Amino acid sequence: MLNRKKWLLKGADRLLPLVRRVPFVVQRLALQQALNRCLAEPLRDGEFEVLRGRWLCLRIPDLGLSWFLTLTREGLRIAERANAHVTISGNWREFLLLASRQEDPDTLFFRRRLVIEGDTELGLALKNLIDSLDPDVLPVWLWRNLERAGKGLAKRRSKCESGLAREGCVSVNINVEYQSAFASRPAPTLECICSTDWRASLAINCLIPSNNSSPCASVQSSPKRLRNP
Give the span between the Cα atoms of 31 and 60, in whole angstroms: 15
Distance CA 68, CA 47 (A): 18
CA 176 vs. chain centroid, Å, equals 37
Question: Within 13 Å, how many C-alpha atoms sit on residue 93's CB side?
Answer: 14
Q: Round to whole Å and give the CA distance between 97 and 10.
A: 16
What is the full DSSP assignment across 148-183? HHHHHHHHHHHHHHHHHHHHH-----S---HHHHTT
Q: Report CA torsion sign: 94, 99, 102, 103.
A: positive
Residuewise pLDDT in 10s, the chain (229 residues): 446 666 667 777 778 888 889 999 999 999 999 999 989 989 999 999 999 999 999 999 999 999 999 999 999 999 999 999 999 999 999 998 998 888 888 889 889 999 999 999 999 999 889 888 888 888 888 888 888 888 888 888 777 766 554 555 444 443 444 344 444 444 444 444 444 444 444 444 544 444 444 444 444 444 444 444 4
Q: What is the reported pLDDT for 163? A: 56
Distance CA 228, CA 204 (A): 17
- Judge contact between 2 and 156, C-beta under 8 A: no
DSSP β-bridge partners for residue 114: 90
Query: Shortest CA distance to 112 belongs to which of 86, 91, 84?
Result: 91
Angle at 199 between CA 194 and CA 201, to 5 degrees: 35
Q: Looking at residue 161, what is its pLDDT?
A: 66
CATH class of 2-161: alpha beta
First to last CA, the chain: 78
65 SS3 class: strand
Return residue ranges of the chain for CATH 3.30.1050.10: 2-161
DSSP state for residue 228 in the 8-state scheme:
-
Please check whether residue 86 is in contact with residue 135, taking contact to mean a CB–CB distance below 8 angstroms.
no
